[in-house]
Chains A and B, each alone.
Chain A
Amino acid sequence: QKEVEQNSGPLSVPEGAIASLNCTYSDRGSQSFFWYRQYSGKSPELIMSIYSNGDKEDGRFTAQLNKASQYVSLLIRDSQPSDSATYLCAAGAGSYQLTFGKGTKLSVIP
């Protein structure tokens, strides 16, 4: 059974701080990893993808991947209240289907 685990939160951080979201996956064959943001009442929106070990930066977002530890993280720098949402981690293992975590709820406090 392929699983993606996330802490459900809520994770509360003050405005301007770094938010750190973590995810572990069970399938060692996973090759692609994605972070989605979902606002309440809305559908998920892709914000980051990462395929190789190390860091990938895009604006205020940095995705980190460690395949040996089966660990993926998302850092959000200079967190804003508009970043308050549920963040979904997903892993793909070469098939058409992605395995999603249950999501971590982030609250950025003004």
Chain B
Amino acid sequence: GAVVSQHPSWVICKSGTSVKIECRSLDFQATTMFWYRQFPKQSLMLMATSNEGSKATYEQGVEKDKFLINHASLTLSTLTVTSAHPEDSSFYICSARLLRGDSNQPQHFGDGTRLSIL
């Protein structure tokens, strides 16, 4: 159980293109999903927290107009990297927490999306 699907797994595109990444919880409902970015040999960096039906909460230094997040249902959140540039090339990973009364639930991660901007 607790499977998180992320799509696509790999994207190569030209500078200036917008790229949409989908994160789905397949067998559970998730009120909260998280978006991380990870550069090579570095640790996970939380970009934003996505709450179903409301605006995402962005971490300091993350441009909300650059990284658009939509969480329209309890099983789907999307991250759109707008007008992507080479410095946006990274490994983007989503995670989701099970919807339950208690908050002692782990985060379950998707397989990640490797984004390369040429």
A residues lining the B interface (CB < 8 Å)? 31-32, 34, 36, 41-46, 49, 51, 88, 90, 92, 94-98, 100-103
B residues lining the A interface (CB < 8 Å)? 6, 31-32, 34, 43-44, 46, 49, 91, 93, 95, 97, 103-112
12 A-B pairs within 8 Å (CB atoms) are namely: A32-B104, A42-B111, A42-B112, A43-B93, A46-B106, A88-B44, A95-B103, A96-B31, A97-B34, A98-B107, A103-B43, A103-B44
| Residue numbers in B under 8 Å from A31 (CB-CB) | 103-104
| Residue numbers in B under 8 Å from A95 (CB-CB) | 103
| Residue numbers in B under 8 Å from A92 (CB-CB) | 103-105
| Residue numbers in A under 8 Å from B106 (CB-CB) | 32, 34, 46, 49, 90, 98
A101 to B44, CA, bound (A): 9
Could you tell me if A44 and B43 are in contact, using CB atoms closer than 8 angstroms?
Answer: no
Could you tell me if B49 and A96 are in contact, using CB atoms closer than 8 angstroms?
Answer: yes
Chain A residue nearest to B104 (CB atoms) is A32
In the assembled complex, how far is the CB of residue B104 from the closest CB belonging to chain A, in whole angstroms? 4
A97 to B107, CA, bound (A): 9
| Residue numbers in B under 8 Å from A94 (CB-CB) | 103-104
Could you tell me if A44 and B109 are in contact, using CB atoms closer than 8 angstroms?
Answer: yes
Asked if A44 meets B104 with Cβ closer than 8 Å, knowing A96-B32, A96-B97, the reply is: no
3 closest residue pairs by CB, A with B = A32-B104, A102-B43, A43-B112
| Residue numbers in A under 8 Å from B46 (CB-CB) | 97, 100
| Residue numbers in B under 8 Å from A90 (CB-CB) | 106-107
